[in-house]
Amino acid sequence: MANLQMHPSYGYAEFMVGLRLDADGGTSYQLGALPRLVERMEAEKQQMGERALPYVLILDEINRTDLSAMFGEAFSAMERDKRGVEMELFAEGASGEQIRFTMPEDLYIIGTMNEIDQSVEALDFAMRRRFFWFPTPFDEEALFAIWESQWAEQKMTVQWQDAVPQLQELAERISLLNSRIAELPELGPEYELGAAVFGDLPYFVGLEWRYRTHGRRQAKILWTDRDKVREPVLSLWTLSIAPVLSQYLAGSDRRVEQLEELKQLFVTRPAR
C-alpha cells in the first residue's frame, strides 16, 4: 500500500514524470510517484511470482490538486480496458529512448476527500466517472478503534476497559450532535462530523488523568457523579469541534445561538 497527500503544488512532474536537476547541474527526466510504484510492483512480481499481492494507492484529499493534469496519460490508463496496455510518455530516458508506462491491472486507486470542501469543483466529470463513490459518515466502531489505539500512548492511570462506559455515552452524544447538524437548514447531512474530528479525546483525557489516582476505579473521566462535564469533553469541543462548526456556520445569522445549542447537546450528559 502507498499513500500520497495531495496539495495544490502536486502535479504531473511529481506524479508521472518531470525534468529535475542532476548531480552535475544538468537536467533529465525522472519518474514520479506512480511509475516508481509500478516499478516496485513489477520487481515484487518477478521475485514472488503468483504470491505477489495487489497494491493499493491512496490519494488523500484528491480535490486539493488538478487531478486531470496530474494523471496525464494515466488518466486514460486507469480505465479497465486500458489496463496492461503500454503507452509512451512525453519524456525521454538517459539514452534518448521514449519512456513507457503501463498501468497494472492489480493496482487499486482510492481517493479521499471532504464533500463540502470548496475546491471540489477541481474534479471534472470525466475524472469522477473513473471512480466509484462511497460516502463515509460517522462510524462509531471506527471512532472507538482510534480512541483505543491512542489510549495506551497517553499512559493514563485509567484503564481502557474502565473508561468504555463513559466513552460509549459520549459516542451517543456525537450521534445526536450529527443528527442535529443534519436537521439544521444552514447545514445538512453532508456537514455531519466524521470520527477523525473526535479522535483527540484520549489526549485531552491524558492531560487530566495521567497522574491522578483518586477516582480512577470509577473512571468518571468525562462526567462527574453529579453529571457535571469534565475538562476533556470541554477541550474537545473548544479545540476540535467548535472551530469546524463555526466555519460551517460562518454565513448564518444565528451562528452564536446554533453553536451554543450544539455545544449543550454534545456536553450535557443525559438523565439516567
Answer whether residue 72 is part of any domain: yes
Range of the domain at 23: 2-128
Give the Cα-Cα-Cα angle 268, 269, 272 (nearest 5 degrees).
145
Count each helix (H run) and each strand (E run) in the chain, helices first.
11, 7
Alpha carbon separation from 3 to 55, 60, 67, 113, 150 (Å, rounded): 11, 7, 16, 14, 21
Check whether 272 has a pLDDT greater than 80. no
**In contact, 191 and 116? CB cutoff 8 Å:** yes
Mean pLDDT across the stretch 143-168?
91
C-alpha 151/C-alpha 203 separation (Å) is 8
C-alpha 144/C-alpha 92 separation (Å) is 50
Q: Are residues 109 and 183 in the same domain?
A: no
Q: Are residues 114 and 146 in the same domain?
A: no
Q: Are residues 179 and 76 in the same domain?
A: no
C-alpha 10/C-alpha 18 separation (Å) is 12
Check whether 161 has a pLDDT greater than 60. yes
Q: Are residues 24 and 120 in the same domain?
A: yes
Domain harbouring 9, CATH code:
3.40.50
pLDDT band at 165 (very low <50, low <70, confident <90, very high): very high
pLDDT band at 184 (very low <50, low <70, confident <90, very high): very high
What are 145-156's pLDDT values in tens digits?
Answer: 999 999 988 888
Q: Count Cβ atoms below 10 Å from residue 173 Cβ, excluding itself.
A: 18
Answer whether residue 232 is part of any domain: yes
Answer whether residue 135 is part of any domain: no
Answer whether residue 93 is part of any domain: yes
Q: Are residues 47 and 163 in the same domain?
A: no
pLDDT band at 24 (very low <50, low <70, confident <90, very high): confident
Q: Are residues 166 and 199 in the same domain?
A: yes
Q: Are residues 174 and 72 in the same domain?
A: no
C-alpha 77/C-alpha 80 separation (Å) is 8
Answer whether residue 134 is part of any domain: no
Choosing from 81, 106, 128, the residue where a domain stops is 128
Check whether 127 has a pLDDT greater than 90. no
**Residue 258 burial (10 A CB sphere; 0-12, 13-18, 19+):** buried
* 79: its cell numbers: 480505465
Residue-averaged pLDDT of the chain: 90
Check whether 166 has a pLDDT greater than 90. yes
Predicted pLDDT at 200: 96
Q: Are residues 159 and 217 in the same domain?
A: yes
Predicted pLDDT at 71: 92
Predicted pLDDT at 119: 54
Predicted pLDDT at 243: 96
Q: Are residues 109 and 170 in the same domain?
A: no
pLDDT band at 218 (very low <50, low <70, confident <90, very high): low
**In contact, 176 and 230? CB cutoff 8 Å:** no
Choosing from 84, 100, 128, the residue where a domain stops is 128
Check whether 22 has a pLDDT greater than 90. no
Q: Are residues 198 and 94 in the same domain?
A: no
Q: Are residues 34 and 79 in the same domain?
A: yes
C-alpha 191/C-alpha 185 separation (Å) is 11
Check whether 74 has a pLDDT greater than 70. yes
* 58: its cell numbers: 491512496
Query: Is 3 in a helix, a strand, or coil?
Result: strand
What are 128-137's pLDDT values in tens digits?
Answer: 888 898 888 8
Check whether 15 has a pLDDT greater than 70. yes
Check whether 221 has a pLDDT greater than 60. yes
Query: Is 202 in a helix, a strand, or coil?
Result: helix
Check whether 140 has a pLDDT greater than 90. yes
Q: What percent of the chain has pLDDT over 70?
A: 94
Predicted pLDDT at 268: 95
Alpha carbon separation from 78 to 54, 110, 211 (Å, rounded): 15, 12, 53
Number of domains in the chain: 2
Answer whether residue 272 is part of any domain: no
Choosing from 128, 156, 185, the residue where a domain stops is 128
Q: Are residues 99 and 163 in the same domain?
A: no
Specify the residue for cell string 438523565. 271
